[in-house]
Structure 1
Amino acid sequence: MPDSTIAAVLNRASKSTGRGNSWTRVRVRSLRNQHAIAAYQEGERAERGEVTLDEAATALKVSPSTVRRLIEEQSLPAQQLCKGAPWMIKAVDLEHPDVKRAAHARRFRRPSSGDPGQKELQL
């Protein structure tokens, strides 16, 4: 991930630097340089055959929240390095018939309100 994304993930996870500071792109870069960790190169993710949650949503013609639901129900395989980190989705998994079927089934489905007394308005 780019340094700014790593900083955002660390801050969302309430992780601070050794001195108690919040993470910034510069602080992540400094730590990476101290430990000889290579910087993220643009296009690296695509070379590994990975797509973002938003890219998966576009490919499946659903919303990003629907992609999250597909991941939660294990219809779409995905990995997350740690809580709050971006999901890593393999592009080839988006072509699997079961994934396409699950996405298509959700495409026109509206989430229920959870209230059994709520009725649908038929237009």
Structure 2
Amino acid sequence: MLNRVAAKRTDTSEDLVALIRRLAQHSADAEIAMILAKQGRRTATGLSFTATRVAGIRERAHIPAGPHHQATRDDGVSIHEAARQLGVCTQTVRRWLREGLLPAQQTTPHAPWRITLTEDVGRRFTPAVPDDYVRLAEAAARTGLARQTILNQVRRGDRDAIQVTQGQRRGLRVQLHPDEQGLLNDEASGSQ
């Protein structure tokens, strides 16, 4: 019968220590533990990772705790923050990441994405719509016309409109004429 030698907590593999070193640059111990758990990794003794166990490995390997500084825009933003800034849902941002459309980094699978949002990226994904162009429903409300009437005006060339794509949604933005800009405001102030 063979005698097994029990694994020691100091038997952490070098590749795991290197991964924790990379992750600690951007993530706290609890987040590193979550990433390692999602990857199905275990400690040298076969236990699941916790923030305390990650901290122990970090300390033995002389890895500084992260993140050391307040995240800046240069470090990248999270999926949720990118969705907020681009005016789309998180699923759209995830799709754009899968398709390679957004500049982003991920230290390892299951680690958080760090998305680089520059003005150029913002312009690519959020169309610039002039101030006097509004959604079709808003144009109908401001003018008191039916949506179909406004669409007919666009078809005849009596009213300008632009097609806007945001994520997978597409919509029409209709130009209001200068005399229509304050139509609802005038009615509201006249009724007071």
TM-score (norm 2): 0.50
Q: CA deviation at 1:40?
A: 1.3
Amino acid of the structure 2 residue aligned with 1:29: A
Amino acid of the structure 2 residue aligned with 1:106: Q
Equivalent residue for 1:69?
Answer: 95
Q: CA deviation at 1:95?
A: 4.0
Query: Among residues 28, 41, 62, which one is paired with 1:2 in the alignment?
Result: 28
Tell me, yes or no, if structure 1 residue 97 matches structure 2 residue 123: yes
Equivalent residue for 1:60?
Answer: 86
Q: CA deviation at 1:81?
A: 1.5
Q: In the comparison of the two structures, how many residue pairs are matched?
A: 109
Unaligned runs of 5+ in 1: 110-123
Question: CA contact under 8 A between 2:76 and 2:104: conserved in structure 1?
Answer: no
- Structure ranking higher in strand proportion: 2
Q: 1:71 to 1:31 in 2, by over 3 A?
A: same
> In structure 2, the residue corresponding to 1:81 is in which secondary structure?
coil
Alpha-carbon distance in 1 for matches of 2:119, 2:104? 9
Q: CA deviation at 1:36?
A: 1.1
Alpha-carbon distance in 1 for matches of 2:40, 2:62? 25
Alpha-carbon distance in 1 for matches of 2:34, 2:105? 18
Question: CA contact under 8 A between 1:93 and 1:99: conserved in structure 2?
Answer: no
Percent identical: 31
TM-score (norm 1): 0.75
Higher normalized contact order (CA 8 Å, seq sep 6+, divided by chain length): 1
Q: Looking at CA atoms only, which structure, 1 or 2, has the larger radius of gyration? A: 2
Alpha-carbon distance in 1 for matches of 2:35, 2:42? 11
> In structure 2, the residue corresponding to 1:17 is in which secondary structure?
coil
Tell me, yes or no, if structure 1 residue 31 matches structure 2 residue 57: yes
